[in-house]
Every structure is written in structure tokens, then in C-alpha cells.
Structure 1
Amino acid sequence: MSELFNNFSTLIIFLHLISAIIWIGGMIVIRFAVHYSMQNIEDPKIKLGRTLENLKRFFSMVIPSIILLLITAIIMILALQLKESELYKYAIAKELIWTVMTIIFIIIYMKRNKAQKAFDNGDFATAKNHLVPLAKYLIPTNIVLGLIAIILGITLRGY
């Protein structure tokens, strides 16, 4: 792992950072830009349809980012021998945060799929009920956790 990291450290760190940017930045954009702009749409069917489409497109970028984050994190932990370092606790904390964020993302993904099924069946109230917790609780929670993980990553980068 050390040789892999030594030969490709810039690429590995870049992939790790761009994946975090896509995930966290995407959530910030979805929650604080797209969500509020969607409130101007009066027709509930159009609003729900666009929300579902936006989330679907977001997921197509985020799922590879989550996988890439995990792979690059493992490479860096092993290559930099963080297990033997006093900074290992930060690496573990960061990975725990990413794990919680991934679990929340899976919940978001499942709720979006349930909302899509309800929407496709013409049950707009149920679709909306599946989506409300995403904007209210789940995405904001992941944004906060992601920002904490970034701070921990900056701490680790000092290594």
C-alpha cells in the first residue's frame, strides 16, 4: 500500500477530496439552493416529480463518490501507517462519521425509492411524506457530519 500511495499520492488525495466535495457540496446545494427554488413550484405533482428526478441524478454522482471515499481512505490509513500514529483516533473518528453518513444515505435512498413508487402510483401525499424527513432532518444531519469529517481530514493532513 505504501508504494501505491507513494507513486500516486496526489491522485489518491485528489480522488478522496473530490468525492467528499461531491457528496457534501451536493447535499448543501440540494438542501439550500434546489430545495428552496422548488418551493416556487405550485403544482404538487410537478414539484414532487422534479424533486425525485433531482435526487435520482444526485445519487448517480454520490454513490460512486461514497465508494471512492472508502477505497481512498483505506489506502491512506494503511499507506501512512496511521494505526501506529497518535492521529489514528482522528482517522477512526472520521471513518465512523463516514459510516454513519453512509447509513443515513441508505435511508435517504430507500425513502426516495418509496416516494418514487408512491408517485408513480399517483399517491402524491405518501410520496411527499417519504421526502419530508430528507430535507428536514437527514440531509442536514449528513451536512453537519460531513463538515466535521472535513475538519478531521484537515487535522490528519498535518501528518
Structure 2
Amino acid sequence: MTELFNNFSSLIVFLHVISAVLWVGGMIAIRFAVHYSIQNIAEPKIKIERTLENLKRFFNMVIPAILILLITAVIMIIALGFKGTPLYSFVIAKEAIWTVMTVVFIIIYIKRNKAEKAFIEGDFLAAKNNLAPIAKYYIPLNIILGIIAIYLGITLRGF
């Protein structure tokens, strides 16, 4: 891993950072731009349909970013030899945050799929009830956690 990182450090760090930016930035865009524009749609069926489509497209973009983030994190942790150093607590904190974010993402993914199933079956209330906590709780939680993780990453690069 050390040789891999030494040969491709700029690319590995770039992929790590751009993946975090896509995930966290995508959530910020979905929550604070797309979500509010969808609220202006009067027809509930169309509103739910647009929300489902937007989340599906977001997932298509962010799932590869999450995988790249994980792979590049493992490479950097091993190659930079953080274990046993004072900085290792920052590494552990980042790992914990990204792990929680991934669990929350999986919950969002499951809720979105349940909402889509309900929507297809014509149960718009169940679809809405599955989608509501995504915008209200899960995405804001992941935005906050992601910003903290990015800050910790900047702190690690600064040392």
C-alpha cells in the first residue's frame, strides 16, 4: 500500500477529496435546493415522483463515491502509518463518522425503495411517509457529520 500511495498519492488524495465533496455537496444540493424547489409542485403524485427520481439519480452518483472514499481511506491509513501516532485518534474519529454516515445512507436507500414500492402500488401516503424523514432528519444529519469529517481530514493533512 505504501508503494501504491507513494506512486499515486496526488490521485489517491484527489479521489478521496472529490468523493467526499460529491457525497456531502450532493446532500447539501438535494436538501437546500432540490427539496425546496420540489415543494413548489402542487400535485402530490408528481412531487413524490420527482423526489424518487432525484434520489435515484443521487444514489447513482454517490454510491461509487462512497466506495472510492472507503478504498482511498484504507490506502492512506495504511500507507501513511497513522496507527500508533497521536493523529490516529483523528483517523478513528473520521472512520466512525463515515461509518455512521454509511449506515444512515443505507437507511435512506431502504426508505426510498419502500417509498417507490408504495408509489407504484398507488399508496401515496405511505410513499410520502417513507420520504419525509429522509429530508427532515437523515440528510441533515449526514450533512453535519460529513462537514465534521471533512474538517477532520483537513486537520490530518495539516499535520
**Residue of structure 2 in register with 1:95 after alignment:** 95
**Residue of structure 2 in register with 1:73 after alignment:** 73
- Taking the TM superposition and a 5 Å limit, the aligned residue runs for 1:27-46 are 27-46=27-46
**Which amino acid counterpart does residue 59 of structure 2 have in structure 1?**
F
- Taking the TM superposition and a 5 Å limit, the aligned residue runs for 1:3-82 are 3-82=3-82
Q: Which blocks of at least 5 consecutive residues in structure 1 are unaligned?
A: none
Percent of residue pairs bearing the same amino acid type = 72
TM-score by length of 2: 0.99
1:91-148 deviation per Cα after TM superposition (whole angstroms, max 9, x unaligned): 0000000000000000000000000000000100000000000000000000000000
Q: CA deviation at 1:85?
A: 1.7
SS in 2 for 1:83: coil
- Runs of 4 or more consecutive aligned structure 1 residues displaced over 2 Å after TM superposition: none
**Residue of structure 2 in register with 1:141 after alignment:** 141
Aligned pair count?
A: 159
SS in 2 for 1:99: helix
Q: Which blocks of at least 5 consecutive residues in structure 2 are unaligned?
A: none
**Residue of structure 2 in register with 1:109 after alignment:** 109
**Residue of structure 1 in register with 2:157 after alignment:** 157
**Residue of structure 2 in register with 1:131 after alignment:** 131
Q: CA deviation at 1:158?
A: 1.6
Q: CA deviation at 1:84?
A: 2.7
TM-score by length of 1: 0.99
SS in 1 for 2:147: helix
Q: Distance in 2 between matches of 1:93 and 1:77?
A: 13
Q: CA deviation at 1:21?
A: 0.6
Q: Distance in 1 between matches of 2:84 and 2:115?
A: 46
